Structure 1
């Protein structure tokens, strides 16, 4: 994302995601979260997502999810903090395009992370992520994850 992108013209189904992009995405890019956009004709923003590093407390994970991990308190991860598409791009596969772009960036990074974590904002978002293999993260019913192994396989 850069200052030339028209953030004011972006509108999605969820007012919280619209407001974040319009008002805060530029501020959060100051080393808090990187924001990436999908552009349509004329440079219109059709969607965006944010990526940041994250850590999951080992205690939050199930026994299966901690197999083979060292006994550290925190497990390195990546967070897709927000993902939204503009109303004008509905039905065009922009959400999937954004997620695959995030996967490609994460699969090619040298940064260490065991998983990708998302906190779906509603049931529709949850269903979207589940469709791509995300599963409940340990004891946190709302939070979902996908292993980096699965992300790399998807990009192979």
Structure 2
């Protein structure tokens, strides 16, 4: 790619090498006063044709494990329709999937633009419930849970299904 700084070119080369060797690269971003930590994939779309994935607010290592597990299973043909719930992606945690609105791509998949400069990739969010099985959009969820794990749709709520009707 023309016009990249040396640092961006090195990062792009690293991400592509990781995706070529492992099927995808993982990027982990530490949380700070402005937001929760998050983990996302780069290269799954390029290598396997499966959506890139992001998860927000999980403890160190758990996000990597969840994204890795999703990509491994998706690359072997398993489908992850939005609104379905899985209890076997991350031990002891319910997980659902929602499509990520392109308006959130740059913030949550920034380095993926080094591989896909036009943002021409599909992306999903792996959303986790609390240990008590509350989702971020539920009134019973702990205060602030919806801010710790925002839903990356245009509205900030599930849009591919109706909570409690045809999804969690």
Q: TM-score, structure 2 length as denominator?
A: 0.26
> By percentage of residues, which structure has more helix?
1
Q: TM-score, structure 1 length as denominator?
A: 0.27
> By percentage of residues, which structure has more strand?
1
